[in-house]
């Protein structure tokens, strides 16, 4: 019995010794791990060397969770965060915002314009039947007018700082119209609506007419643009600068029957002057969609020159005239639309509606009415010319 008791006592003593050794090993391991975490934290703080020489901190284990351990350094509690593990960059890393929405940046852009001139249509021939004093209309009038045609605008900006920049644009646009009418005869003929009234002859009234009408516009805009107010998702800028513009209207009409009669007109305007306006943008969420609007007013001081020439096969020059005068043309411009930009704001594409009205312009139909009037008074003609249509713009910012 005593022998069994000695055996059990010995076994209990061995187990107690093994447990004591295990606890001592765990405590030693925990101390080394805690010291390692302290060294990591001190290395992050850049004072590991000084701490090793002159320890001025106390490490306390608050809990078994390593993330809750505290480093008491100079009387300030600083939680020890776990060392982050390296991981592959996610797809969202490209969308890290490195600019402000309102910020001015260097940029280059190009625009496709699809516009239509309005207010300059010319009636050049009317089918009639009967003498001059009692003409009856027998068909639709032939009109030289414009449809939608394409043009372009190129430009760029140079950012002075985050809130201001210089910008410049060059605009080129051209529209052409070709129309004609032919009558079978049988007593009807064409009234020549562009021929001078003193040269109208019923016996020579034509049975066919054709017209070519051209419209050309070139413009240069130079602006200083600055931020008026802005935020994370909106920006409003004001601008002022100079605008130069040249507008040409060229009409050629040919009437044919026994003889050929030609009428050629050219109406030009050149002007330069100040411009003022604003530009506003608003971002819609994080998907890159945005809305924009622009508005400017231009005051062009320039001159208008017009020429009229009528010829035929026999007398060569029948009528010739020209007119030159100075004008101040007011041109308000408006554009609004929507677009999309990349997540870093470097690439942007927008599309919108563009409208411009040229007030106090001399147009071809007004000039023709002045020349054909008897007697020729050449009274000042005032007309509004309008351009409207679509604008699509691609822009690269850097």
Which residues, in sequence order, are CB contacts of 147 under 8 Å at separation 6+? 116, 175, 177
Grouping H, G, I as helix, E, B as strand and the rest as coil, residue 113 is strand
Q: Which residue has the higher pLDDT, 102 or 73?
A: 102
Count of CB atoms situated within 10 Å of the CB of 24: 10
Q: Which residue has the higher pLDDT, 365 or 57?
A: 365
| pLDDT > 80? residue 171 | yes
pLDDT band at 286 (very low <50, low <70, confident <90, very high): confident
- How much is the pLDDT for 69? 45
pLDDT tens profile 137-167? 888 899 999 999 999 999 999 999 999 999 9
- How much is the pLDDT for 220? 98
Residue range 308-334: mean pLDDT, rounded: 91
Domains of the chain: 2-79 (no CATH), 107-397 (2.40.128)
| pLDDT > 80? residue 295 | yes
Residue range 2-17: mean pLDDT, rounded: 52
Q: Which residue has the higher pLDDT, 91 or 210?
A: 210
| Average pLDDT over the chain, rounded to an integer | 80
């Amino acid at each position: 019995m005593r022998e069994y008791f000695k055996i059990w006592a010995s076994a209990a003593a061995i187990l107690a010794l093994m447990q004591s050794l295990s606890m001592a090993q765990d405590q030693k391991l925990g101390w080394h791990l805690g010291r390692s975490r302290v060294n990591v934290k001190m290395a992050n703080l850049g004072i590991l060397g000084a701490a090793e020489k002159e320890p001025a901190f106390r490490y306390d284990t608050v809990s078994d969770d390593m993330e809750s351990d505290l480093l008491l350094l100079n009387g300030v509690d600083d939680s020890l965060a776990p060392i982050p593990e390296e991981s592959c960059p996610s797809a969202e890393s490209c969308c890290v915002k490195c600019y402000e929405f309102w910020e001015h940046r260097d940029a280059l852009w190009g625009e496709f314009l699809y516009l239509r001139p309005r207010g300059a249509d010319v009636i050049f021939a009317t089918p009639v039947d009967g003498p001059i004093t009692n003409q009856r209309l027998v068909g639709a009038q032939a009109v030289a007018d414009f449809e939608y045609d394409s043009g372009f605008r190129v430009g760029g900006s140079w950012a002075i700082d985050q809130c201001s920049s210089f910008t410049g644009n060059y605009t080129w646009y051209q529209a052409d119209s070709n129309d004609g009418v032919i009558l079978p005869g049988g007593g009807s003929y064409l009234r020549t609506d562009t021929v001078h009234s003193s040269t109208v002859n019923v016996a020579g009234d034509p049975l066919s007419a054709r017209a070519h009408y051209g419209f050309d516009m070139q413009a240069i805009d130079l602006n200083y643009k600055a931020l008026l107010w802005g935020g994370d998702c909106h920006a409003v800028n004001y601008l002022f600068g100079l605008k130069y513009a040249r507008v040409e209207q060229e009409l050629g009409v040919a009437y044919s029957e026994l003889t050929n009669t030609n009428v050629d007109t050219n109406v030009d305007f050149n002007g330069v002057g100040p411009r003022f306006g604003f530009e506003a943008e608003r971002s819609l969420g994080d998907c890159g969609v945005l809305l924009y609007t622009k508005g400017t007013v231009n005051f062009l001081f320039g001159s208008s020159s017009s020429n009229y020439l009528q010829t035929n096969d026999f007398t060569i020059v029948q009528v010739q005239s020209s007119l030159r005068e100075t004008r101040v043309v007011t041109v308000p411009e408006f554009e609004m639309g929507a677009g999309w930009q990349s997540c870093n704001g470097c690439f942007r594409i927008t599309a919108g509606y563009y409208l411009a009205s040229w007030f106090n312009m001399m147009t071809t139909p007004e000039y023709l009415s002045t020349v054909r009037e008897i007697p020729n008074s050449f009274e000042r003609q005032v007309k509004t010319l309008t351009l409207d249509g679509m604008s699509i713009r691609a822009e690269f910012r850097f």
